Amino acid sequence: MKITKIIIFTFLFSLLSCKNDNKNAIGDNQKYVKLLWRNKQFEWIPTSLVAKNKMLYFGNLNRDFYAINLENAKVKFKIKTDYNPFQKPLISDQNLLLTEYGNELIHLDKTGKLKWKINSETNLKTDLSQYENYIYGSVLGNGFSKLNKTDGKVIWFLPENSIITETNKPAFFKNNIYLGLSEHTANLLAINTENGEIIWKNEYKNFSKITQFKTENGLLVCLNKDLKSGKILMLNDKSRNEIWSKSLNCDLYYEPCIINGNVILSTYDNKIVSLNIENGKKNWTLDLKEDAAETTIISFKENLYFGTMNRNLYSINYKTGKTNFIQPFNYGILNPIVDNNKIYFPTGGSEIWLLK
């Protein structure tokens, strides 16, 4: 737990800190990107940013929660909450589901009016999700549960002790939920969405962390232990049979990028790796050397974009892995945002940049 706190603090510090050397400061108009807007009064916490339908949602340490226009930073509303700004809000039809400091899940309408609240658990910061008209997450001392979105009542809870075990964001395939449980060993559960019954369970004794993602080819599973010994595999979501597997130093902080039959992911040893989604064979590897990816990898118009530890924005070709350009920034780069056929780059300086 102590190590995790140190990692989070270091990550946020690198995002929010500006370079001390003014000679290295970049202007607002560069060859590949331009500043769209800047508003340091927002003081947003980088890990809370969520964009949806031309709106940007986030919280700050002053307990302010904002909804603003992504293009011009015009504030749609600003409300005072006890929202924990280190966690992402869940946006549901312009309604907001926020996890508070006091371990409560609150449901607000688009004007900020409270609809309902329910006691939640620590795991809610990683497993809160929506599928169709229901909310899923760890609440009420029952662990992972299915909730009625209208009133927050629990429909069922997992008949497995998910309270003391770390859960992650589930993957949904029609009538089934796939949920990872991480403790001393990694487990993957297939759960019936209607009644919460466990259909099958896979145990991975040599790994302690697991994440899973839905793809057209099956269930993509990333396994890790101490961020150094990793494995990625593809499962048949119904039979749970392994289609292929590949040993990698998986970095499980960021989701893999899936584009045109390829799986792109960052690894612990500062590399970006592309695998064929059908057989797991390696397409190419990009070595970042003394730098490291610190955002998710986002695809946009045949290219991949991501930010790094040294505050560089990379653009690379998804087919070859060759670098198109490297753009330095004054502040840490957050997860790139694709919306309305544009790609945006938020930073730790409460600013939004746009690809030219």
- The 10s digit of each residue's pLDDT in 97-141 is 999 988 899 999 888 889 999 999 989 989 999 999 999 999 998
| Cβ-contact 69, 76 below 8 angstroms | yes
- The 10s digit of each residue's pLDDT in 225-238 is 887 788 999 999 99
- Residue whose entry in the numeric block shows the structure tokens 């040294």: 310
SS (H, E, C) 102-114: CCEEEEECCCCCE
pTM of the complete model: 0.90
User: 87-117 as b/e, with b when 16 or more CB fall inside 10 Å?
Assistant: bbbbbeeeebbbbbeeebbbbbeeeeeeebe
**Mean pLDDT computed over 276-303:** 96
**Mean pLDDT computed over 209-226:** 93
AA identity, residue 6:
I
Which long-range contacts does 117-123 make (Cβ < 8 Å, 24+ apart)? 117/152, 118/147, 118/152, 121/163, 123/162, 123/163, 123/166, 123/167
Please state the φ and ψ torsions of residue 128, each to the nearest 5 degrees: -65, 125
Q: Other C-beta atoms within 10 Å of 9: how many?
A: 10
AA identity, residue 48:
S
Q: Other C-beta atoms within 10 Å of 41: how many?
A: 8
**Mean pLDDT computed over 65-82:** 94
- The 10s digit of each residue's pLDDT in 341-350 is 999 999 999 9
In the three-class reduction of DSSP (H, G, I as helix; E, B as strand; rest coil), residue 321 is classed as: coil
Structure tokens at 29: 């108009």
